[in-house]
Amino acid sequence: MSQNEQQAAPLARVPTPSTLVGNPYLAPRDGRCLINDLPTELLAQIFVLGANMDDPIDEDEEIDEDSVDSEIEEDEDKDGDEEGDDDDEKPPFEVTVSHVCKLWRDVAINTPTLWSGLDFSEGLPYTKSAVYLGRSKGAPLDISIDVTKDEEDEETNLNDPVPALAELMVCSDELEAILKLIIPHVSHWRSLELMVSEYVLMHSALLQMGACACAPMLEVLQLYHYEDSEEGEETFTPPKFKQQDFVLFHGHAPKLTHVALWGVHLDWAASTFLSGLVELELAYHAKDVRPPFRDFARILRDSPEIETLTLCQSGPVGGPVEWLESVLGPDAMQTGEPSEPEACTTLALPSLKNLVVAFLEPEYSKHLVERLALPSLASLAIDLEEADGTALLQTLTRPSPTTGKSVLGGLQALKIAGVQCEEGTVIADAYAALTNLTALNLNFDFVSTRWYDALIVQWESVASSSKDPLLPKLDSLTTTGLPGKDVRKLIEVRMAMGRPLKQVFMNQDDDLEDEDEEWIKKNVDEFEYFEGSDEENMEIDGIDIDLLEEEEGGHEQDGDEWEDV
């Protein structure tokens, strides 16, 4: 470099005390902590955002009393292990920030929202949860309780009632301790999820909720009773818990919008608090505890903004005759049925967007769908397993007597998890009605390959013509039980028509050659595998599509199995 170039080159800037003034990346020279200059309200909001982003704790991880409630100085009056004994233990975010300094501790402890989520995963005596409840003050509580039996022990319990009884007693002790903690706080429950394996435990919880005067802030109520039962079971067991002489929260839950009842029935006629719902899920009810049509209709009519309805081995008890009698009363039935009985039992659901019909008799499903006016339905999932669903498909395809339009015509997402139909014309007619469909999910473990044949034959026939194909707007395809070569063929034909598929999802257990997999990934925007029996929620064109799949040989009862269809 010449002398002139050296003179022209800028001098390297050496930091000086004056250039370091105000540098946000360096601590102030006077020892101040800049974050402590933030307003308390802003610091609290940062803590809340951090807690929402925090990874969940391992369910097996325990947090002792000291790790939650100790002051900066060791409290010698409290028992428990010292903090940090286990280097691998990761405390929740709210606990971590409460142990940074005195200011942060004061802010964290006095931010009730940080302590409002409870799952009781630490086990008896629930010291951590008691501390959380105390710190939550009046903040809306989100409560999740799981006192189900360990799956590993169930086979043993079937042959030896002694361990089963011992485990039930343990679960009972756990639930009673939890209820003792949370019932006094019912005034600020926001969501409650309760999962049990034995109905006696659920009944105990129902009794205590029935004794509560009200649940003024409750928005979500999810009650799950997981117990093996025969499909379509006629009578409820144990019979002594069938009748209920109480109503949850004395009928006062004015903010309730989301309800899921799995194997849990209520006094339907008295439960008028089931109104204003946005989502309702009724599942796995014995026939003698299903709601009468009159009460089923009242719940839906009192929920004019309902968007999602799931009926899985449940729904209004009986059939068309019983439904009509439920509405008109036995005296009116004795004088003769009306000329148009369907009109008396038709339910208009103008806001309903998502419907699931699963594990119900085909004839029952057909009659029920005939009585639902669904002008806004965008997503439909059907699973009749191995039952013949031909009549149901025909009902969905033909124009509705109430709206004058086919239910299928307005759908954007359709999942056929189990509908047996060997009539190719019925399947073709159903496809022809789906003019607005963008997402299709087919489970070939429980549906005929005719669903594939009808598409491939028609698509190939119009590939080189100007005719419209079946499913003209389809851009997302999910399959189970369909070989990869056939999935590739569907993609190829859509490409030849100039209407390519953008998203393809395949069950990870299905056959797919490496060459086909590589080709598919290159020719669609998104390709993914999903695991059978797990739920995959994909948002496609603004619609939440439930891509749940069941394990081979049957359908599991999973607490989230039918959500967000």
Instruction: Say how far residue 52 (Cα) sits from the centre of its chain.
Output: 19
CA distances from 185 to 136, 138, 258 (A): 10, 8, 20
pLDDT at residue number 60: 39
Every domain of the chain with CATH number 3.80.10 lies at: 410-565
**Strand runs (DSSP E) across 179-219, as ranges?**
189-196
For residue 384, give the amino acid letter.
L
**Can you tell me the distance from the alpha carbon of 474 to that of 358, in angstroms, rounded to the nearest whole number?**
24
Closest CA to 372 of 416, 342, 392: 342
- CB contact at 8 A, 417 and 445: no
Q: Tokens in use for 259?
A: 């309800």
Instruction: Say how far residue 131 (Cα) sits from the centre of its chain.
Output: 29
| Phi and psi at residue 482, to the nearest 5° | -110, 120
pLDDT at residue number 284: 95
pLDDT at residue number 536: 42
What is the chain's pLDDT, residue by residue, as a tens digit (565 residues)? 555 555 544 555 555 656 666 666 666 666 667 677 778 788 888 888 888 887 554 433 444 434 444 432 333 333 333 333 444 567 888 888 888 888 888 888 888 898 899 999 888 899 999 999 999 998 999 999 999 976 554 444 445 555 567 777 778 889 999 999 999 999 999 999 999 999 999 999 999 999 999 999 999 999 999 976 655 578 999 999 999 999 999 999 999 999 999 999 999 999 999 999 999 999 999 999 999 999 999 999 999 999 999 999 999 999 998 998 888 876 655 555 555 555 678 899 999 999 999 999 999 999 999 999 999 999 999 999 888 999 999 999 999 887 889 999 999 999 999 989 989 899 999 999 999 999 999 999 999 999 999 999 999 998 777 788 999 999 999 999 999 999 999 999 999 999 999 999 999 999 999 999 999 999 999 999 998 764 444 444 444 444 333 333 333 334 333 333 2
**Can you tell me the distance from the alpha carbon of 380 to that of 411, in angstroms, rounded to the nearest whole number?**
7
Closest CA to 365 of 376, 349, 381: 381
Instruction: Give the CA dihedral 128, 130, 134, 140, nearest 10 degrees.
Output: 90
Closest CA to 284 of 266, 300, 261: 261
Q: Find the angle CA(278)-CA(263)-CA(226) to the nearest 5 degrees.
A: 110
Instruction: Show Cβ contacts of residue 295 under 8 Å, excluding neighbours closer than 6 positions.
Output: 268, 269, 271
Query: What is the model's pTM?
Result: 0.82
pLDDT at residue number 38: 79
Over 221-275, what HEC string results? EEEEECCCCCCCCCCCCCHHHCCCCCCHHHHCCCCCCEEEEECCCCCCCCCCCCC
pLDDT at residue number 76: 30
Q: What is the CATH number of domain 410-565?
A: 3.80.10
